[in-house]
Structure formats: C-alpha cells, structure tokens
Chains A and B, each alone.
Chain A
C-alpha cells in the first residue's frame, strides 16, 4: 500500500513539473512585460537593462528552473505590476477567494441536496418540474452573464445589494474576513450565488437521479412495508445511500469552485486571487501568473491524490490488483 501511495505522489510531482514547464513556454506568447513596466519615454538601454535584470533574456527553460529554485525555498519572486513579493500578495488575496468559495460551496451543497431530494420525491409535481427546467439556466448560462444579470437586477434596479467589492472587512491576525460586518455579508451574496449556481444545479441533478434510483430499490419498498413514515424512509434510508457518489463529486468540484472564481471575481471586482491572475495576464506579470498556476495545479493534483488514496481504502479491488496475484 505504501508503495502505491509513494508512486501516486511521484506521479503527482511529475504532473506538477510538466504543468509548470508548459506554463513557462506559454508566457512569451502573452506578450512582453517590459513594455508595460517602462513608460513611453524609455530608451533602448532601459529596455535591455530591465530585461537582463529580470532574466527575461534567458531561454524559458532557464527561467523555469530559476522559478523552481526559488519556489522550493518559498520564494515566488516579485510581481512586475505591484513591485511586491508574490507570496505576500497571494497570502493577502487568499482569504477573499477562500471565503467566497466556502460560502458558494455551502450554498451549492445545501440547496443542491434539498432541491434534489424535493424534485425526486415530488417528481411529477408542478413545482418540481419548474425547478428542473429553471436549473437548466444554471447549467447553460455562462457565469459572467449570470453575474451581470444579478448585478442589474439587485444592484441597479432594486438597489438592495452592492455591485462590486467585499464591503468592510475586519482583519483577524492577517486574515481579512467579510463575515463580521453587515456590508461584508451583503457583498458576499451575489458573487457566491454566481459562483455556486453551476455546482448547485449539478449537485441537485445528481442527487435527484441517484435518489430516483435508490427509491426503486427493494430495501426502500421493504421499509415502506414495515410501515415507516415517509420522512424516515426518504431521509434516513434513501438519502443516506444517495450520498456516496454525491460526496465524491462534491470533493472534486471544490477545486473547480476555487479555480472558476476567476470569472466571478472579475465581474464583481472581488479582491481575490482570481482577479489578481486576470490582472497579471493583462500586464504579463510572469511571477504572479506562474505562482497562481502552480498553486492551482498543486490544489488539483492534491485533491486527485487524496481521492485516489481514498479509493484505495474504499475499493478492495484496487488493493487486490496491486498485491499482484495474477
């Protein structure tokens, strides 16, 4: 078993290295950062001096190794746009993204499961059918459009909620939170709905189909025959058995929520790492782009690794394969 885990970790590290290499080979197609960094009055010498100073005159493989060398020591370089260490900027921006992702995730899970169960139990009801049709919006409309629509409805027309930003935040030992102020909580509502809508509909549809499958099973019929009340049958027996695949999907979608926050953060000017990344692309801020991409790939690779290891414990067939009897 240990060998299996070690091998998976080794594979994950390899994936990370390749992601980094591909990223660095792409950066020069994004543009030339020098042009954004120096004003229009700069001379040819200024350009050459800065290019050499930043190491941009080196081939990308060399730049990549320099980045790796720094990264393993926790040094991700200096942002070209802000002139500050990237690690510091990322740490400063992370709370905004993580709080947004957490609220979106919780909303998606709560409403997804509740609506999924409801539409499964009342599968022929008018309301359930309406919810099912409406959920198509969540799956098919692009995130930025949903965000803009919400802004126009709730900020411009009704004036209830703010259209941008995080509101007032409170600093708790380096972690800036929007949970403790009214404006902070209000500011969370629209972005978290925008970000979580897709995941919510996904979970809802998954719960519904799994639930319909389970409700057909013999043990549910026996439970009803035993005279158990509907609530006990639906929630204690049916829902519990529905949750196994749902939990797997939720786990995998967590990473997606953080990664897809880029678009939501841009629409709502949410000061998180996603907005930072978009700014970095426009400015060709290579250190920020590199650090962000590596961070996101570490996250995805980490989640996949965890899921793989969990499968190993859950699924005995995997173990049988690895112990190599045949």
Chain B
C-alpha cells in the first residue's frame, strides 16, 4: 500500500511539473463537450473540442472563410452537376501513425450517415461517397447541391483501421447510454493529441509534433488544459486571478472589468446569431391575446407597428451595454443573402406605429403574452422586459412569461406560443438554411422552427428549388426575392445580432471566430 501511495505521489508531482510550461493555454467556458465521438452529437462546444483533435475536409478560418484542411481543393465535376470532387491532402498521418487516405473519408461519411449519427441531416443530400484513387473522392448528391461544402465544416474524418480495431465502427448510441472507445478516446489528424479527459472536469491535449500544417500555422500553444466553469462570476474570477488564459462565454456585465484589469483584454466580433421575435399570424384566433374571434397578428399593419415600436438602439445601449448590433433582417451579416440595406430597414417610429394600429382597427390596443427564454441568449429576459415597455407605448399590453430554455423551445416547435423570442445561427452561411427552418411552412422535416403559421405555397416552392439551383447568380436572385417577401410581410421582428466576446490574457493572440469555435492552432502566445 505504501508503495502505491509513493507512486501516486510521484505521478502527481510529475503531472504538476509537466503543466508548468510557458506555452500552456488554460482555457475555460461554461460547458463541456458531451462526447468525443466525431458523429454522435451536433453541438457547438462539442465540435469545438473535436476541432482541436479531428479535422474535416474543409474548415472555416477565424474570419469564417473556407480553408482547405484534409481536402486541398474541391469543385463540382465538370460533366455532372450531381457530383463534387475533392482532392485530398497527401502525407497526412493520424495520431496513431496510420496514413490518411480516401478510404478513411469514405468510412467517415458512411459512419456519419448511420441512424445514431447526429450529423446525418447535414449530409442528407449525399447518396454516395466513392474513392476514385487514394487521394481523390467523389460525392454524389441526390440532385445538384451548390452549397455542399458549407455542410462539411464540422464533419470529422476518422481512421478506418483505428475504428475497426477498437470496435467503434458504429456511432455511439448516445441516448441509449452506450459508451464506445471513441467516446473517451480520439485519434484524428488534428493539431492536438488527447492526453487525458475527465468529462465536465478537465481535458488536456498536447501538440501533435507530426501535424501536416506544423509550418503553416502558429501552433504556439504546446498544451491545452480545458476546464468548464459553470458559474459566471467564478469564470471571470478565474480569468482575473490569472488561473485561466482564455475565456469564452464572458458575462456582459464584467466586460469592462476584465478590459481594465492589468494583463487582460477582451476581443469582440459579431456572432453568427440573430435575435428576433416571432408572431403567430397563421391562426384565425390566438390564445395568448385578449381579442376574441380575431387574430390581430394576422394583420401585417399590426406586425409592422410592433416592429416600429421596438427601439433597437435603446436595447443595444441599455440592455446589452453596447454588446449587440441592431438588426433589420433575421440573417447574420456573414450569410449569403444578407444585405446592408435590408439590415437597416427597421426603424423606430411610435407615431407611425400608432397610426398603423389605428388603421388596422386596434387603436385601443390589445394584450398578448410574450414567451421568452431566460437562460439561452445574452440578456434574453432583459430584452423581453424592455420590449414590454416599448410595445406598451402603442397600446399593446404584453404579459411576459420567461422560462428556462428547456421549457421555452418546445413551445415554439409544438406551436403553443403566439409571440416568442428566438435566436438563430446559420452554420452553412447561406440563407437557404434560414428559409428551410424559419420561413417554409411547417411540415415534419422542414419549417420545424417556423412558429409563425406562415404558409405560402409559391414561396415554399421557391425555397425548395434553392437546394438544387446550380446557377449561383439565379439562385442569389431567388434568395433576394424571398427575403423581400419576408421583409414586407414582417414575418419576424428582428432585434439585434449578438456580439461575441472572448476574454484573454494579453499574451494570447487570436481573433474572435464568429462561430464561437476557437481553433487553437491559430493562437499565438508571446
């Protein structure tokens, strides 16, 4: 027993000295990755951790632009618009030393299409992935898919041999509680190798000395220690006390404090997330209001009046302490289809709003319930509270019902709310994604987040045609046309684009990534 103690002590001592290295990045955010299995969960923090160890064919750099990762270039096949051709990077090795070849890509895509995979929807259009030779891949889609590459940036490539040897050919059955070797171990081609992992406590990764891009990227961090810290005040205290070098999920009220602290800095950038209100215009009568037999939200004048009543600048200054960008459309600024003009379309004009209400026959106003989450978006409940006061100015009495996200979101997807807050991020950077979920009429596999009851068959057909329109110019014209309808119908009341803040020690050099997915290989330490 004594020897065990002595050994453990020695091991602990070694572990302590090993972490004292100048290039260790101690990184914290509010939550942990749910699993390491590359295809079991489609969730932000989980992808972020995987990105350090696994790589997709294509990644997005810190500006959101495509960057070749395991594929060096890609293009639709010249004579067949239904096929994309990817040339793969040569000379890449997995962490265990195995060579990366086309076989691994075919295997990973097949794995990602399994029923237990959480990534299958994103690559639903792919019918076949075939290896032409060791370093060329062809992907066949069920029709031309011009934006396929944007669906691949979180689709990680595993080693076929490793998966077979460790019995993880199948995706972990997450809901069924299955634990496979791939849940707790990782063998990717990425810049960092997993050293140890305790879920929810600490994950340690060290630099991959055989990384293919070792001369191409800074890779100045030699060790990553990742710790989730749930309590916001503790998270900030850990940064202030120097126990953490890099912090995501900064609380807005502490930004100034961190900015003013010695040796610390805050960097910000617009986030890929827009916040807005949705209104149930489709129902003949709605439950949440005090008007009988009629639905005031069905009248476009009422929707426009409500939008005009919202003072977005006041929300930005008072509620968000400057940490937001007022929005006029429900697309984040990086997304194909976003225009500066449309994003500036919302304005505050109480008099005009009152006149519109009068015209619509609601001069005396009405009352309605607003459903709002209180633990999902930055200051979500406070935004709703501000909106209550603003809408009160045009006679709309709003009863605010704020609840945790786990109770709020089912209201939207089950159609149980008539006036609600929602935020939306666009992983594909293309408007089609927004239309599919928020504008297309609600069906079982499309329009799933459209709680407005809006259903326009002509528009739906146009949305569906986007998926296979390879003429990008015509496609963009269609996108602009669809946006025009969304804007003119006042389908949603846009509020603002969230701003992302990362707190860090001054020695850490990195620009904020709009996806909130830091890739440590881009970090410099000086």
Binding site for B on A (CB under 8 A): 29-45, 47, 50, 53-54, 77-85, 148, 151-152, 155-156, 159, 162-166, 168-172, 180-183, 266-269, 271, 275-276, 278-279, 282-284
B260 at the interface (CB under 8 A from A): no
Closest residue to A81 on the B side, CB-wise? B34
Does B234 contact A42, Cβ atoms closer than 8 Å? no
- State how many residues of chain B have any CB contact under 8 Å with chain A: 59
B71 CB to nearest chain A CB (Å): 23
- Per-position contact with A for B232-246: 1 when CB-CB < 8 Å, else 0? 011101101111000
Given A45-B444, A267-B234: A31 touches B405 (CB 8 Å cut-off):
yes
Q: Measured between alpha carbons, how far is A269 from B9 in the docked complex, in Å?
A: 24
Q: Measured between alpha carbons, how far is A30 from B201 in the docked complex, in Å?
A: 25
Does A282 contact B238, Cβ atoms closer than 8 Å? no
Q: Measured between alpha carbons, how far is A266 from B232 in the docked complex, in Å?
A: 10
Given A53-B176, A279-B230: A31 touches B406 (CB 8 Å cut-off):
yes
Which of B5, B175, B243 touches A83 (beta carbons < 8 Å)?
B175
Closest residue to B424 on the A side, CB-wise? A40
Which of B11-19, B74-82, B393-401 is the contact stretch? B11-19
Residues of the B chain whose Cβ atoms lie less than 8 Å from the Cβ of A279: 200, 230
Residues of the B chain whose Cβ atoms lie less than 8 Å from the Cβ of A283: 406
A-B contact pairs, 10 of them (CB 8 A): A31-B403, A33-B406, A35-B409, A41-B122, A43-B444, A82-B35, A164-B235, A172-B4, A180-B9, A183-B16
Which of A44, A165, A183 touches B445 (beta carbons < 8 Å)?
A44
Q: Measured between alpha carbons, how far is A78 from B35 in the docked complex, in Å?
A: 14
B121 at the interface (CB under 8 A from A): yes
B460 at the interface (CB under 8 A from A): no
Closest residue to A152 on the B side, CB-wise? B237
Chain B positions 379-428 with a Cβ under 8 Å from a chain A Cβ:
403-407, 409-410, 413
Given A32-B407, A41-B42, A267-B234: A163 touches B227 (CB 8 Å cut-off):
no
Does A83 contact B177, Cβ atoms closer than 8 Å? yes
Given A83-B35, A163-B238: A282 touches B15 (CB 8 Å cut-off):
no
- Per-position contact with A for B505-522: 1 when CB-CB < 8 Å, else 0? 000000000000000000
Closest residue to B227 on the A side, CB-wise? A165
Residues of the B chain whose Cβ atoms lie less than 8 Å from the Cβ of A266: 230-231
Which of A84, A164, A180, A278 touches B238 (beta carbons < 8 Å)?
A164
Q: Measured between alpha carbons, how far is A84 from B174 in the docked complex, in Å?
A: 8
B179 at the interface (CB under 8 A from A): yes
Which of A31, A155, A180, A182 touches B237 (beta carbons < 8 Å)?
A155
Does B409 contact A170, Cβ atoms closer than 8 Å? no
Q: Measured between alpha carbons, how far is A35 from B410 in the docked complex, in Å?
A: 7
Q: Measured between alpha carbons, how far is A79 from B175 in the docked complex, in Å?
A: 8
Does B121 contact A42, Cβ atoms closer than 8 Å? yes
Closest residue to B15 on the A side, CB-wise? A168
- Per-position contact with A for B450-478: 1 when CB-CB < 8 Å, else 0? 00000000000000000000000000000
Q: Total number of A-B contacts with CB less than 8 angstroms?
A: 161
A122 CB to nearest chain B CB (Å): 37
Closest residue to B409 on the A side, CB-wise? A35
Chain A CB within 10 A, most for which of B200, B227, B241: B241
B61 at the interface (CB under 8 A from A): no
Does A36 contact B406, Cβ atoms closer than 8 Å? yes
Closest residue to B437 on the A side, CB-wise? A40
Residues of the B chain whose Cβ atoms lie less than 8 Å from the Cβ of A81: 34
Given A39-B43, A284-B406: A170 touches B9 (CB 8 Å cut-off):
yes
B150 at the interface (CB under 8 A from A): no
Given A155-B243, A159-B241, A163-B238: A275 touches B179 (CB 8 Å cut-off):
no
Q: Measured between alpha carbons, how far is A30 from B448 in the docked complex, in Å?
A: 23
Residues of the A chain whose Cβ atoms lie less than 8 Å from the Cβ of B444: 43-45
| 4 tightest A-B CB contacts, nearest first | A31-B406, A78-B177, A43-B445, A44-B444
A18 CB to nearest chain B CB (Å): 25
Does A156 contact B174, Cβ atoms closer than 8 Å? no
Residues of the A chain whose Cβ atoms lie less than 8 Å from the Cβ of B118: 38-39
Given contacts A83-B178, A266-B230, A269-B227, 20 further A-B contacts (CB under 8 A): A30-B406, A31-B405, A32-B406, A35-B409, A45-B445, A81-B34, A83-B40, A152-B237, A155-B237, A155-B243, A156-B237, A159-B242, A166-B201, A168-B12, A170-B11, A171-B8, A181-B13, A181-B16, A279-B200, A284-B406
Residues of the B chain whose Cβ atoms lie less than 8 Å from the Cβ of A151: 233-234, 237, 241
B210 at the interface (CB under 8 A from A): no
Given A43-B444, A163-B243, A279-B200: A267 touches B231 (CB 8 Å cut-off):
yes
Which of A44, A80, A182 touches B175 (beta carbons < 8 Å)?
A80
B410 CB to nearest chain A CB (Å): 4
Closest residue to B31 on the A side, CB-wise? A279
Does A282 contact B4, Cβ atoms closer than 8 Å? no
Residues of the A chain whose Cβ atoms lie less than 8 Å from the Cβ of B240: 156
